[in-house]
Each structure stands twice: as C-alpha cells, then as structure tokens.
Amino acid sequence: MKPAKFEHQRIATLEDAVAAMGEADGEKRVLGGGQSLGPMMNLRLAQPDVVLDLSRIDGLTGIEDAGDKLKIGARVTHARIEDGEVPGATGAYMQFVAAGISYRSVRNRGTIGGSVAHSDPSADWPSALLALGGDVTAVGPNGLRTISLDGFTVGPFTTGLGYDEILTGFELPVLGVGAAWGYYKVNRKPGEFADAIGAVTVGPEPRAVCGATETAPFRVPEIEAKLAAGAREISVAEVRDILVGHDAGFDDYELQIHAVALSRAVKRAFT
C-alpha cells in the first residue's frame, strides 16, 4: 500500500521544527529515520497531514559522556549503538539491545528517538531504557523540558510528550563497575517484534521491567526487591506468581512467556 496524501517539510534547525509544529495545520508527525512511521503510513494506520523531516538536523546525533550520565541524541541510529559508540557498561547493555532490533538495513536508518517517540508496545527501546532509568529531553514552544523515563510511555503509541513537543534526546545513568544487566525477548524469529521482553539492570538501584505488553512496559518492584536482597536467579514460577498480581491482562500463554523473559533476563545478568 501507499500512504495517504501528506505534506513533507524538510526542517533545517530545531528552532524551525518547533515553529513548524505550531504553524502547520492538521495532524503533524515528526520523521527521524522513518523505520517506524513509514510502515504505519504505508498501511494507512497513520495518516498525518504534515510530516516534519528532521533528518538534516545535525544537533540531534551526538553521544556524550558527561561523567555521571550519558547524553544521547534522538537521531542516533540503532546501528551506531550496535557498533559500540555508546561507552561503558551502559553502552554494552545498549549495544546488546540494538543488535537484536530488526535487521541491519533497518538499524542503519532507524533512530532511538524515533522508536521511543513512536512507542510501539513491542519495540525494544521503551522497555530497555525504562530498565536503565534516566530522562527524555524534549523541546517545544515553552522551551526545553526533561521528562522521567518512569511513566514516559503511557500506552500503545502514546507518550508523555505534548502535542507540540519534539523529543530531542536522552540523559541516561552510567552503570558503574560491577553493575549487571540482562535482556531477553521472546519472538518467533530473529528480526521480528517481541512477544515478551524482560529487562534487568542491577546497580545501586536494581530495576526490572516487563515489556511488550498490550499497554506500556512496567517495572516489577517485587523482582527489584529480590535483586536488591541478593537474588541471582528467580524461577519462572516465582515470576508468574508475581505478574499475576500486576493485573496486566495476560492470558495464560502471555503470562508464561513474560515470566520466561523476566526469569531469563535475571539469569543473563549474572552469567
């Protein structure tokens, strides 16, 4: 299929992008690498009136080690992360996640910011970044804003961004020496979207995330408490019992695969 008629605006600067968000009539969507929005438009599941193309804005492509945090621009591609451009233990975790996203041709153009802003519930980055913690940075007519990753993904294709805001990047914590992480996803074959995701980071504050749900990825405090108490393995049965209490709307099969994903993510963190 082909997309419905739309106006394409190629934007030169971030200031121009903010202005265009306020000036353009009808539904507006921002284009980064096009690997999330493009297929949705071709299927006519998204029919924006105006597409604002940010592919020429160089200021959104940086990766900076700022000491206690990493700053990553919204237009950094999955491929750059896969190739090890993000430093340290945080970078190793993100490198593993990026390498499992779709296929290299998609990773060459798809961007981390586009994935998170698009907020497909089965995508990797919304769950993986929630397990890291940190913040999203955004800009709009009222200036810059920082939004915690906790709660940023509200639901399927819905985020905490204002309708006139543009996601510009991420400020992520640095996983220190000795930190552990594990990431596991269930999918029918490599390159497909996930049916279930388990993401775990174990640093000063353990974080465990259940992702690829029908709503938004969510943290699992019971697993985090076990990790903080020194647990190095949590059985699938234990995770199942924990997830039942979260009322995530899983049927028996979904409950099982999400329990497997989380249990194996914990195991991977320590092997």
- Residue 13 placed within a domain: yes
State which H helix or E strand residue 52 sits in. strand 50-53
Burial of 249 (0-12, 13-18, 19+ CB in 10 A): exposed
- Residue 234 placed within a domain: yes
- Residue 210 placed within a domain: yes
Based on the fold, state whether residues 210 and 120 are members of the same structural domain: no
Based on the fold, state whether residues 98 and 155 are members of the same structural domain: yes
How far is 23 from 11, CA to CA, in rounded Å? 13
- Residue 1 placed within a domain: no
pLDDT tens for 36-78 read: 888 888 888 888 888 899 988 888 999 999 988 999 999 999 9
- Residue 200 placed within a domain: yes
Domain encompassing residue 44: 7-53
CATH of the domain at 236: 3.30.390.50
Q: What is the pTM of this model?
A: 0.94
Based on the fold, state whether residues 162 and 203 are members of the same structural domain: no
pLDDT in tens for each of the 271 residues of the chain?
Answer: 688 898 899 999 999 999 988 886 788 888 888 888 888 888 888 888 888 999 888 889 999 999 889 999 999 999 999 999 999 999 999 999 999 999 999 999 999 999 999 999 999 999 999 999 999 999 999 999 999 999 999 999 999 999 899 999 999 999 988 899 999 999 988 878 899 999 999 988 999 999 999 999 999 999 999 999 999 999 999 999 999 999 889 999 999 999 999 999 999 999 9
Based on the fold, state whether residues 127 and 226 are members of the same structural domain: no
Burial of 44 (0-12, 13-18, 19+ CB in 10 A): exposed
Helices (H), the chain: 14-23, 37-42, 78-82, 88-99, 104-109, 112-118, 124-132, 221-228, 236-244, 252-269
CATH of the domain at 17: 3.30.43.10
Based on the fold, state whether residues 168 and 186 are members of the same structural domain: no
Based on the fold, state whether residues 184 and 169 are members of the same structural domain: no
Q: Which amino acid is at 149?
A: L
The length of the chain is 271
Domain count, the chain: 3
